[in-house]
Structure 1
Amino acid sequence: GKPMPVEPENQEINDDKAFTCTFSIECSTILNNLNDLEADKREIVPSNGIILPPTVVTFYEGESVFDVLQRVCKENNIHMEASWTPVYNSAYVEGINNLYEFDCGNLSGWMYCVDGWYPNYGCSRYQLKDGETVEFRYTCDLGKDVSCDWMG
């Protein structure tokens, strides 16, 4: 079975127990949709679509994907903006590397997957486990172009 979401008020972080995961951020789908991208944003899209290549990072027991995203972006000087969505009791990632939802069409925005699975809940509710691989991927088509099939 897939992990269930952990509510933020139930999150317990144990900074005595350190683990590692592999983290990456990419927006290669934009390269196929540059005509839809706002012109002033084109120069911030990396030529290969890779914002952060797969990188092994340390995290602590109980931390969420969002906790690690915040730290990884800060450590690598990658801009990241998120907002709190009370109805989902979760953080919502609006933009990474100054690329925001809807910048590349009405169906575009950031999604995350863990070991190839796209959770249908926010990244602040996904409690990481040792050795997992996390990818933040920009979609231009509600996830279809990044192999997520539950959206839309």
Structure 2
Amino acid sequence: MPVEPEDQEVNKKKSYTCTFSIECSTILNNLKDLDPDKRELVPSNGVILAPTKVTFYEGESVFDVLQRVCKEKGIHLESSWTPIYNSAYIEGIHNLYEFDCGELSGWTYCVDGWYPNYGCSRYQLKDGEKVEWRYTCDLGKDVGCDWMG
């Protein structure tokens, strides 16, 4: 169930862990569509951040943890606020942006294999969840997301 970011209260006295990863392996199958200036940014195995156990605090969102992990690991992150969805929108990770690999490309996330149909700042994490950030070249179809139709 999505939460409203302004209603979230973070309790730093209660910490939990989740597994977090960032990958762009779909680009490897679509290099012909990738902006040539971006090729050197794509790891040979598509993995930007291998699955890593991270600590988060009660009330934090997927976006909160993404910001912290990227800062700690020195991974470039760019986002913007989207008022109509009341959520953060991820424009780019690791200098790979939406539309860099075709008009249907960009970043999406899944939690325990499920792709929420709402923004990452509205997903409040629970202990033990597995969060995967994945670059899609086909509106999510190539990474297993089928809610978009």
Tell whether the structures are fold-level matches, with TM greater than 0.5: yes
- Cα distance in 2, alignment partners of residues 20 and 85 from structure 1: 28
Q: How far 1:93 sits from its partner (Å)? A: 0.3
Matched, 1:82 2:92: no
- Cα distance in 2, alignment partners of residues 52 and 46 from structure 1: 10
* Paired residues, number: 149
| Partner in structure 1 of residue 130 of structure 2 | 133
Q: Deviations over 1:62-110 (max 9, x none)?
A: 0000000000000000000000000000000000000000000000000
Q: How far 1:151 sits from its partner (Å)? A: 1.4
- Cα distance in 2, alignment partners of residues 114 and 51 from structure 1: 18
- Cα distance in 1, alignment partners of residues 100 and 78 from structure 2: 14
Matched, 1:35 2:32: yes
Q: Which of 21, 41, 45 is the equivalent residue of 1:44?
A: 41
- Cα distance in 2, alignment partners of residues 91 and 143 from structure 1: 18
Q: State, as a whole percentage, how many aligned pairs show the same letter.
A: 83
| Partner in structure 1 of residue 100 of structure 2 | 103
Matched, 1:122 2:119: yes
- Cα distance in 1, alignment partners of residues 31 and 37 from structure 2: 11
- Cα distance in 1, alignment partners of residues 68 and 115 from structure 2: 21
Aligned-residue RMSD, C-alpha:
0.5
TM-score calculated relative to the size of structure 2: 0.99
- Cα distance in 2, alignment partners of residues 95 and 23 from structure 1: 17
Q: Secondary structure at the match of 2:53?
A: strand
- Cα distance in 1, alignment partners of residues 119 and 38 from structure 2: 26
Q: Secondary structure at the match of 2:91?
A: strand
Question: For structure 1, which runs of at least 5 residues remain unmatched after alignment?
Answer: none
Q: Secondary structure at the match of 1:129?
A: coil
Question: For structure 2, which runs of at least 5 residues remain unmatched after alignment?
Answer: none
- Cα distance in 2, alignment partners of residues 48 and 41 from structure 1: 15
